[in-house]
Amino acid sequence: MQDRRHVPRNRALKAGKILLNDRRSVIDCVVRNYSEAGACLQVASVVGVPPIFDLQIDGESIPHACEAVWHAQNRIGIVFHSRPEQAAGESESPAAMMRDRHDSHHDQGEHAAGHDLVREELLSLRAALDNFEQGITLLDGDLTVQFMNRAARKMWKVSDEMVERKPNYGELVNTAGNTNVSGVPAEKLDRYIAERISAARNGNPTPADLQLADGRTMRLQCAVLPSGGRMMTYSDVTDLVRSAAELQVIATTDSLTGLHNRRRFLELAEAEWHRFQRYQRPLSLLLFDVDNFKFINDTFGHDTGDRAIMHLAAVARDDKRPSDELARIGGDEFVLLLPETDVQQAGTVAERLREKAAQSALGVGADRMKITVSIGVAGATLSMSGVRALLKAADEALYQAKFLGRNRVSVALPASVHPAELAAE
């Protein structure tokens, strides 16, 4: 072998491609210390690189026949072999011709058997992937589709012929949009397609949940492959997402009445409170409960008590606006938050609710029972510290309504007005 220490070298880095399997497979590399005798190749991994291969260097029309002479981490030392003269019309690669010379003593039957074995293994792998429940799409470094298993083809609603044509990932996503697979509204489709292509190009590994038109939720994950390609996996997480949504409902809903529970009400009330502080728009609150509820429970039983709570919830729900927030916050106690409503208007709403509750009846026939409610009303002021202060003011007004005989509405006085001032009037 020629001593390369005395051969002029080109220190400039060049891009190259290692050509394998009769040029059907490609590994990207960086060519270092390039000379007439050989070079040093930098690759992502030396695994899978055979001892003899072709090297195509950018800017050169003819590939080099190469032989690896040393390996070190992610680098391979190679020497170039001259190409023998070819007969007219022959198109065999330099590395292939070199292998012919190098391996001419090998039995040709064994060589053919090896090809058949590799082909069988690839077909077996493809069949195995086709039986995965997960959708799997393999892309090369240019985001060209190399393989889609059966689940992925079914999800995207693409034909085998289209996959065999090896479309670009962008074309695949566009096809899904045009066939309404994604269920994305037309006005948002362009943005959706751009986001999906960008995520694949950037190799973003963050899982993304895709809503399909058939109601399923598919969780997409992207993995960057050593060759620079992408593996896109699609898992059906519909049940998982539905369970999470159901748990969210359970965590925020009162099971007896179907109204918001205390936790959810406080979350919504905090948002309204911030709006009140920022824009200084009126905000009021009603706090109410069933009169003599303990007597109802003790006399007629807890089932009747539960029916009384559900009855009052139904009356209040029918009377509220879509923007109002109604919740059961404990026992027989309810709260109604009224955005864009001053305390005087809230008093009118409370009186209407009290009358409707008094005029309605629980049960029928001999079991018919009338229930009444007492209501405390408070309006938000800038001097209050927050939602809990508003609740406290309404609670004090509710206590006053109970003290004055029940079945009535009591309005909390603003902090700047003292009861003695009203008495003096």
Q: In this structure, what CATH number is given to the domain that contains residue 146?
A: 3.30.450.20
Tokens of 119: 């082909």
Q: Are 364 and 235 in the same domain?
A: no
Please identify, among 208, 240, 272, the residue that sits at the C-terminal boundary of a domain.
240
Residue 114 lies in a domain: no
Q: Are 275 and 383 in the same domain?
A: yes
Q: Is 186 exposed, middle or buried (0-12, 13-18, 19+ CB in 10 A)?
A: exposed
Q: Are 27 and 144 in the same domain?
A: no
Residue 26 lies in a domain: yes
Q: Are 228 and 350 in the same domain?
A: no
* 56: CB partners within 8 A, 6+ apart: 16, 17, 19, 63, 64
Residue 120 lies in a domain: no
Tell me how far apart the alpha carbons of residues 293 and 296 are, in angstroms, rounded to a whole number.
5
The helix (H) or strand (E) run that includes residue 409 is strand 409-411
Tell me how far apart the alpha carbons of residues 77 and 26 are, in angstroms, rounded to a whole number.
18
Q: Are 36 and 70 in the same domain?
A: yes
Q: Are 285 and 391 in the same domain?
A: yes
Residue 381 lies in a domain: yes
Tell me how many domains the chain contains: 3
Domain range enclosing 90: 4-102
Q: In this structure, what CATH number is given to the domain that contains residue 29?
A: 2.40.10.220
Q: Is 77 exposed, middle or buried (0-12, 13-18, 19+ CB in 10 A)?
A: middle
pLDDT 10s digit of each residue in the chain, 425 long?
A: 445 455 566 677 899 999 887 777 888 999 998 888 889 999 888 877 888 889 999 989 889 999 988 888 888 999 988 765 554 445 555 555 555 555 554 445 555 554 555 566 666 677 777 778 888 888 888 888 888 888 888 888 888 888 888 888 888 887 776 667 777 777 877 887 788 888 888 888 888 888 887 888 888 888 888 888 888 888 888 777 777 777 787 888 998 999 999 999 999 999 999 999 999 999 999 999 999 999 999 988 999 999 999 999 999 999 899 999 999 999 999 999 999 999 999 999 999 999 999 998 887 666 778 899 999 999 999 999 999 999 999 999 999 999 999 999 999 987 654 444 443 33
Residue 115 lies in a domain: no
Q: In this structure, what CATH number is given to the domain that contains residue 266?
A: 3.30.70.270
Q: What is the pTM of this model?
A: 0.51
Tell me how far apart the alpha carbons of residues 153 and 172 are, in angstroms, rounded to a whole number.
10
Q: Are 133 and 82 in the same domain?
A: no
C-alpha separations of 239 from 86, 130, 153, 167, 244 in Å: 63, 23, 21, 32, 8
Q: Are 264 and 236 in the same domain?
A: no
Strand partners, 202: none
Q: Are 199 and 258 in the same domain?
A: no
Tell me how far apart the alpha carbons of residues 60 and 45 are, in angstroms, rounded to a whole number.
24
Residue 282 lies in a domain: yes
Please identify, among 45, 70, 102, the residue that sits at the C-terminal boundary of a domain.
102
Q: Are 164 and 230 in the same domain?
A: yes
Residue 417 lies in a domain: yes
Q: Are 190 and 133 in the same domain?
A: yes
Q: Are 381 and 258 in the same domain?
A: yes
